Amino acid sequence: MTGMKGPGIFLAQFVSDEKPFATFADIVAWAGDLGYKGIQVPTWDSNLVDLDLAADSKTYCDELKGICQDSGVEITELSTHLQGQLIAVNPAYDALFDAFAPEAFRGNRTARQAWATNQLFLAAKASQNLGLNAHATFSGALLWHTVYPWPQRPTGLVETGFAALAERWIPILNAFDAAGVDLCYEIHPGEDLHDGISFERFLEATGNHARCNILYDPSHFLLQQLDYSQFIDHYYEHIKMFHVKDAEFNPTGKSGVYGGYQNWKDRAGRFRSLGDGQVDFSRIFSQLAKYGYQGWAVLEWECCLKDPEDGAREGVEFITKNIIRTTEKAFDDFAGLAADDTVNRRILHL
Give me the domains of the chain, ranges plus CATH numbers: 5-347 (3.20.20.150)
In tens digits, the chain (350 residues) has pLDDT values of 458 999 999 999 999 999 999 999 999 999 999 999 999 999 999 989 999 999 999 999 999 999 999 999 999 999 999 999 999 999 999 999 999 999 999 999 999 999 999 999 999 999 999 999 999 999 999 999 999 999 999 999 999 999 999 999 999 999 999 999 999 999 999 999 999 999 999 999 999 999 999 999 999 999 999 999 999 999 999 999 999 999 999 999 999 999 999 999 999 999 999 999 999 999 999 999 999 999 999 999 999 999 999 999 999 999 999 999 887 777 666 667 788 899 899 999 99
Peptide bond into 308 cis (omega under 30): no
CB-based contacts of 314, cutoff 8 Å, min separation 6:
273, 274, 275
pTM: 0.95
Rg over alpha carbons for the chain, rounded to the nearest Å, is 22
Instruction: Give the amino acid at 81.
Output: H
Beta bridge partners of 255: none
281 vs 261: CA distance, rounded Å: 29
**Strand blocks (E) in the chain:** 5-10, 38-42, 74-80, 134-137, 182-186, 212-216, 239-244, 246-249, 269-272, 296-299
Instruction: Give the amino acid at 48.
Output: L
Degrees (nearest 5) of the Cα angle 153, 168, 237?
Answer: 85
Q: Which of these, 241, 172, 190, 287, lies nearest to 10 by C-alpha position?
A: 241
128 vs 181: CA distance, rounded Å: 7
Degrees (nearest 5) of the Cα angle 10, 224, 286?
Answer: 60
